[in-house]
Amino acid sequence: MSFLNRTLGPLFFPSILWRSSNSSIHLTFDDGPHPSATPRVLELLQKFGIQATFFLLGERVASYPQLAVQIMALGHTVGCHSMSHRSLFLKPLMAQRAEISRARSTIETTIGKSPGAFRPPYGHFDFSTLRASSDEGMRLVMWDVDSQDFSTRTNANVLRRLTRQTRQGSIILLHDNDQTAGRGSDYLAAIVENFLESGYTFAPVSV
């Protein structure tokens, strides 16, 4: 997936955003809002005064609407990550449309703004995904740097991986979910401090 994202993806799917032309880098958090992971991420980002992008799940927005509102109120960008996190790949167009449309409208109803970016669950998509998200007014946003923070990699491993792969305009995939809740906030602080020391600035993804 990493190879596809970094090399083949931009070649075959130029309408998708894989990396920006900004000089900033873009932290993106998938799978929230999560009752313990998301507040910790928000607090950390606020401490450093940086803004990120959160790709929210419709079902979790329905469960934790106040967190979705808080993400928005703190100046972060809200994107859509489907309703239930089922893979959309090779599902009929109507089924994909239902997942994407319900999530988009749940987010809009909750935060008062329709998201402009869609990230497919697991990064799996096909032409129906592109069509359904475009019909909902959203551009597909992938990433060029996968932190693998949801895996069993140690915090030091995650940081090393990010440092090696990130460059200007990089879109970095992170998560605020059950898997990352146990990492604490030290790992994220280390990531942010590391990039600040390297002279990077941070910005939400803009589509």
Q: How far is the CB of 173 from Zn ion (least distance, A)?
A: 9
Between 30 and 176, name the residue whose CB sits nearer to Zn ion: 30
> Which residue's CB atom is positioned nearest to Zn ion?
30
76 part of the active site: no
Radius of gyration (C-alpha) of the chain in whole angstroms = 16
Of 26, 30, 34, 149, the catalytic one is 30
Between 118 and 195, name the residue whose CB sits nearer to Zn ion: 118
Of 14, 32, 28, nearest to 130 by C-alpha is 14
Distance, in Å, from the CA atom of 140 to the CA atom of 136, rounded to the nearest integer, reads 11
Does 146 participate in binding Zn ion (rule CB under 5 A)? Answer: no
30 part of the active site: yes
Give the binding range for Zn ion (CB under 5 A) out of 28-36, 106-114, 138-146, 151-159.
28-36
- Angle (CA) 35-86-148 rounded to 5° is 65
What is the 3-state composition of the chain as percent helix, strand, coil, each rounded to the nearest 5? 45, 15, 40
Q: How far is the CB of 201 from Zn ion (least distance, A)?
A: 26
Q: Which residue from 29, 31, 136, 173 is in contact with Zn ion, where contact means CB under 5 A?
A: 31
Of 99, 135, 100, 131, nearest to 118 by C-alpha is 100
Q: How far is the CB of 55 from Zn ion (least distance, A)?
A: 7
Q: How far is the CB of 80 from Zn ion (least distance, A)?
A: 11
Helices and strands, number each (H, E), in the chain: 10, 7
Catalytic positions are 30, 175
Residues in touch with Zn ion (CB under 5 A): 30-31
